[in-house]
Structures are given as structure tokens and as C-alpha cells.
């Protein structure tokens, strides 16, 4: 199980690198190993060059338990999400260019423009700026984490969580796709927002979607535990 998760971190890290979401050595990924331990990517390592043996294991207080490399300096953000979102088993932090452009412009992705984005993400809020790798960054996120699975970080990037790495990856991909749609719509100059009953219907559909996703996640965890 652990080595399968290590390989998944390598695979999704390379996918995010190729998408341009994790250039250089930026970005980080993690997964829950169990109720007490987190498996995470190390600091200072290109996600294109990442290997399974590079991963590190930390406890829920951030103490490193295993691994020859040093854990990412942004592990506090991951731990806050695992603490406040018991349903989350994976976290991805990256810098998708267009979404990060919105974050650097002080603009959340909160306009009801695209039905698919409302269904899968709801609103993508903007956390206030705080220095990367500090407790201030954790504090800026804490009020938003319980209510959102995708959050923009002001002048920084984005973070998503999910019931597995694929779920967190798809949310990150959707954040960037939605940001691109918002950018093009505003460039065209004729933005038409969804209103009233249409939004209510999408919120109802989203509630059903999330209920199904959570049930599926519980079933997978029970199968793994069994």
C-alpha cells in the first residue's frame, strides 16, 4: 500500500510538472498513510525527477518519521487540511499560471459563469496573503478549509484536497480550466452570469455529487482497511 502511494505521488507530480503547474522545484503533494502518518514530497526536488524513495513520512504534528530528504517547508498547510477535513486523503499545492494570475490580482474564482465549475468546485475563495512555509499561511487558510476543497492563495498559487490523489488532481486541473474560462469571458467583454433558479439547481446537483463522492471514498477506505 505505501509503495503504491509513493508511486502515485511520483506519477501525479510528473503530470502536474508537464502541465506547467509545478515548474522548477515548486509545489508539493501528500497523502494519508493512516490516521497518524502522512506521506509527502520532499523540498527542493523537481517533480519531473521525483522518485518513490524520495518521499518522506511525517506525523500529524509535522515531525519527520522517515525519509532521507527533508519534508516540504509547506507541510503545515497539508497538515491543517488533514486536521480540519477528515474526508480528505490527499492534498496538492501548485502554481497553475492563470489561476495564480487571479490570485495575484486579488480575485477569487467566485463568479457563477460555468455550470461544470459550480458542480465540481463551488466557489474557489482567495486566502489572504501570508509568507510561504510560515504558520501565517496556515492561519490564512483555516477559516476556508472546512468549506472548500479548492482555495487560491493570494500572490502564491492554489491548493486542493480530495479523497485520493486523482480527485485532488482533477480539482486542481478544473481550477485552472475555470480560471481560463473566466479570463476569456472577461476579455470578450460580454460576461453572462448564471442566476437564480439555475444556480439553485446546480447547488442541489452539487450536494448530490458530493454525497456520492464521500460515500465512494468511505467504501474504498473500508476495502483497503479490510
The residues assigned a catalytic role are 74
Phi–psi pair at 100, nearest 5 degrees? -65, -30
Please report how the helices 2-18 and 165-188 are oriented relative to each other, as an axis angle in degrees rounded to 10: 20
Cα–Cα nearest to 112, from 194, 48, 188, 4: 194
**Distance between alpha carbon 54 and the CA centroid of its chain, in Å?**
21
Q: Which three cell numbers stand for residue 102?
A: 487571479
Question: What secondary structure does DSSP assign to 72-133, as a single string?
Answer: PTTHHHHHHHHHH-TT--EEEEE--HHHHHHHHTT--B-----HHHHHHT--B-EEPP--TT
Amino acid at each position: 500500500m505505501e509503495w503504491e502511494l509513493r508511486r502515485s505521488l511520483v506519477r501525479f507530480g510528473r503530470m502536474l510538472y508537464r502541465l506547467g503547474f509545478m515548474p522548477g522545484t515548486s509545489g508539493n503533494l501528500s497523502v494519508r498513510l493512516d490516521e497518524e502518518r502522512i506521506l509527502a514530497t520532499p523540498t527542493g526536488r523537481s517533480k519531473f525527477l521525483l522518485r518513490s524513495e524520495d518521499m518522506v513520512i511525517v506525523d500529524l504534528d509535522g515531525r519527520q518519521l522517515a525519509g532521507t530528504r527533508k519534508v516540504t517547508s509547506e507541510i503545515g498547510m497539508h497538515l491543517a487540511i488533514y486536521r480540519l477535513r477528515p474526508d480528505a486523503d490527499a492534498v496538492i499545492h501548485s502554481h497553475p499560471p492563470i489561476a495564480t494570475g487571479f490570485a495575484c490580482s486579488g480575485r477569487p474564482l467566485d463568479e457563477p459563469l460555468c455550470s461544470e465549475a459550480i458542480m465540481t468546485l463551488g466557489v474557489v475563495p482567495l486566502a489572504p496573503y501570508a509568507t510561504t512555509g510560515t504558520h501565517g499561511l496556515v492561519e490564512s487558510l483555516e477559516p476556508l478549509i472546512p468549506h472548500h476543497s479548492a482555495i487560491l492563495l493570494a500572490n502564491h498559487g492554489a491548493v486542493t484536497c480530495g479523497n485520493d490523489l486523482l480527485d485532488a488532481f482533477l480539482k486542481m486541473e478544473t481550477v485552472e480550466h475555470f480560471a481560463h474560462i473566466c479570463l476569456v469571458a472577461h476579455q470578450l467583454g460580454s460576461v453572462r452570469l448564471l442566476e437564480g433558479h439555475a444556480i439553485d439547481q446546480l447547488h442541489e446537483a452539487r450536494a448530490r455529487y458530493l454525497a456520492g463522492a464521500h460515500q465512494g471514498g468511505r467504501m474504498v477506505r473500508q476495502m483497503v482497511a479490510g
